[in-house]
Amino acid sequence: MTRRGWAYFVAVGVVWGLPYLLIKISVREISPPLLVFIRTGGASVVLVPLAAARGALVPALRRWRSLVLYTIAELAVPWVLLFDAERRLPSSLSGLLVAAVPLVAALLALLTGSDHLDLRRMVGIVVGIAGVGVLVGFSVAGTHVLSLLSMLVVVVGYALGPWVVDHRLRGVPPLGVIAWSVLLCAIAYAPWAMLNLPSRPLSGSVVASAATLTVVCTIVAFLLFFALIAEVGAMRATLVTYVNPAVAVVLGVTVLGEPFGPATAAGFVLILGGCYLASRPPRPRARRAPVGPAGGLRTSDGARPGGLRTSDGARPGGLGDDAPGAIPAP
Please tell me the distance from the alpha carbon of residue 79 to that of residue 164, in angstroms, as a whole number.
17
Does residue 229 sit within a domain?
yes
Please tell me the distance from the alpha carbon of residue 216 to that of residue 225, in angstroms, as a whole number.
12
pLDDT by residue (tens digit) across 94-118?
A: 888 887 887 788 788 778 776 666 7
Phi-psi region of 198 (alpha: psi -120 to 50; beta: other; left: phi over 0): beta
pLDDT by residue (tens digit) across 261-299?
A: 787 788 778 877 877 777 666 666 555 544 444 444 444
Please tell me the distance from the alpha carbon of residue 178 to that of residue 74, in angstroms, as a whole number.
10
- Find the Cα–Cα–Cα–Cα dihedral 9, 10, 12, 14, rounded to 10°: 160
Angle, helix 244-255 to helix 262-279, in steps of 10 degrees = 160
Q: How far is CA 212 from the centre of its chain?
A: 19
- Residue 127: which domain range? 3-284
Residues 32-40, mean pLDDT to the nearest whole number = 97
Residue 143, pLDDT above cutoff 80: no
**pLDDT higher at 302 or 57:** 57
Task: Identify the pLDDT of residue 287.
Answer: 52
pLDDT by residue (tens digit) across 235-246?
A: 566 667 777 888
Task: Identify the pLDDT of residue 205.
Answer: 95
Task: Identify the pLDDT of residue 139.
Answer: 57
Given pLDDT bands bounded at 50, 70 and 90, which one contains residue 325?
A: very low
Task: Identify the pLDDT of residue 324.
Answer: 44
Residues 250-254, mean pLDDT to the nearest whole number = 87
Task: Identify the pLDDT of residue 188.
Answer: 97
Residues 155-171, mean pLDDT to the nearest whole number = 87
Task: Identify the pLDDT of residue 248.
Answer: 85
**Average pLDDT over the chain, rounded to whole?**
80
Task: Identify the pLDDT of residue 314.
Answer: 37
Residue 90, pLDDT above cutoff 90: no
Task: Identify the pLDDT of residue 304.
Answer: 38
**pLDDT higher at 105 or 183:** 183
**pLDDT higher at 302 or 184:** 184
pLDDT by residue (tens digit) across 127-139?
A: 877 877 776 665 5
**pLDDT higher at 115 or 252:** 252
Task: Identify the pLDDT of residue 294.
Answer: 42
Residues 205-209, mean pLDDT to the nearest whole number = 96
* DSSP code, position 281: P
Does residue 294 sit within a domain?
no
Residue 319, pLDDT above cutoff 60: no
Does residue 328 sit within a domain?
no
Residue 178, pLDDT above cutoff 70: yes
**pLDDT higher at 248 or 286:** 248
Q: How far is CA 60 from the centre of its chain?
A: 20
Given pLDDT bands bounded at 50, 70 and 90, which one contains residue 184?
A: very high
Residue 309, pLDDT above cutoff 90: no
Given pLDDT bands bounded at 50, 70 and 90, which one contains residue 34?
A: very high
Q: Which residues contact 253 (CB under 8 A, 6 or more apart)?
A: 92, 259, 260
Task: Identify the pLDDT of residue 327.
Answer: 56
Does residue 144 sit within a domain?
yes
Task: Identify the pLDDT of residue 50.
Answer: 95
Task: Identify the pLDDT of residue 140.
Answer: 58
Does residue 329 sit within a domain?
no
Q: Which of 215, 180, 216, 166 is nearest to 50 (CA)?
A: 180
Does residue 318 sit within a domain?
no
Q: Provide the number of structural domains found in the chain.
A: 1
Please tell me the distance from the alpha carbon of residue 277 to that of residue 269, in angstroms, as a whole number.
12
Task: Identify the pLDDT of residue 60.
Answer: 92
Residues 199-211, mean pLDDT to the nearest whole number = 95
